[in-house]
Amino acid sequence: MNSMFTTIIRIVLGLALLVFGANKLFTFIPMEAPTGSAGDFMSSLNATGYIFPVLGVLEMIIGMMLLLKKWIAFALILLAPISINILLFHLFLGISGLPVAVAILAFNVILIYKHWQQYKPLFY
């Protein structure tokens, strides 16, 4: 796979995670509150008081690892369940954000494929 292509994907994904992770902590990008089942789900997660701050910090750490090119394979494994849950949330509860969710998962899969040699020992 083209190194420049995957470098661009890594940087875009890292920046997106850094910005949206920081937004979970500091709310500088106003977002429309979801309604219906999606709103109920998000309200219950917000009511715990810890899910969004922990997720925000984790997204920021993963984003920084991707941007600084440190422990990329580890960062991608940490991101895998997050990106799958983002996709499933938008697929079943809030369809409006589905294109972004698909892009995040696709970027994660492309980068995992690029670094597959580092994951091979896990399967032997």
Mean pLDDT of successive 10-residue stretches along the chain, which has 124 residues: 90 96 92 87 93 96 96 96 96 89 96 94 87
**Predicted pLDDT of residue 32:** 83
Please tell me the pTM assigned to this model: 0.92
Separation of alpha carbons 55 and 41, rounded Å: 15
**Predicted pLDDT of residue 61:** 98
**Predicted pLDDT of residue 1:** 64
**Predicted pLDDT of residue 91:** 94
Q: Tokens representing 58?
A: 């984790």
* First-residue to last-residue Cα distance in the chain: 24
By CB atoms closer than 10 A (0-12, 13-18, 19+), residue 87 is buried
